[in-house]
Amino acid sequence: MRTLRLAALAALCVGCHFDKLFNGSGGGGGPAPTAPSTPSGLTFSAQPQSTTQNTAIAPPVQVTAIDSTGNAVLSFTGSVFIAVGQDGSVQQDAKLTGFTRVSAVNGVATFADLRIDQVGVGYTLTAAIDSGLPLKESGQFNVTPTVP
């Protein structure tokens, strides 16, 4: 009887995967942790709205880092840069002021104080990050004269 118990115990041990208990892969029975996603693109999650000359664009422009499937990369905290894309001014020399380089928080960069100094129609903004991702262009917006 004792031999039978030892044989049953040995069979049980051979059937178990002790290697998974001791090497850290799959010991908890769940899937192995995945590496955090890295951004493969950007999207304007809050598009620039038409505004008046030298007045902050409101609501603030927001740019979100996204992965290859279009999901927000919440772990991204890098810098996002923004600039005038299409210059809607007559002289084609409009200047964008405010903080044009912002660190993302939970994958989102918020540009709270962007202003354009010249009146124009059909402006766009472009956003980029350091990794060399293609520029992302916003929708069009207008800048009208400030009324005294």
Please tell me the distance from the alpha carbon of residue 52 to that of residue 13, in angstroms, as a whole number.
76
Q: How confident is the model at residue 117 (pLDDT cuts 50, 70, 90)?
A: very high
Q: What is the pLDDT of residues 10-57, one digit of tens each?
A: 444 445 444 444 444 445 555 544 445 679 999 999 999 999 999 999
Average pLDDT rounded to a whole number, residues 70-74 = 95
pTM, whole model, 2 decimals?
Answer: 0.74
Average pLDDT rounded to a whole number, residues 143-147 = 92
**Beta-sheet pairing, 125-129 with 136-137:** antiparallel
Domains observed in the chain = 41-144 (2.60.40.720)
Quick check: 122 pLDDT over 50?
Answer: yes
Please tell me the distance from the alpha carbon of residue 141 to that of residue 123, in angstroms, as a whole number.
5
Q: How confident is the model at residue 73 (pLDDT cuts 50, 70, 90)?
A: very high
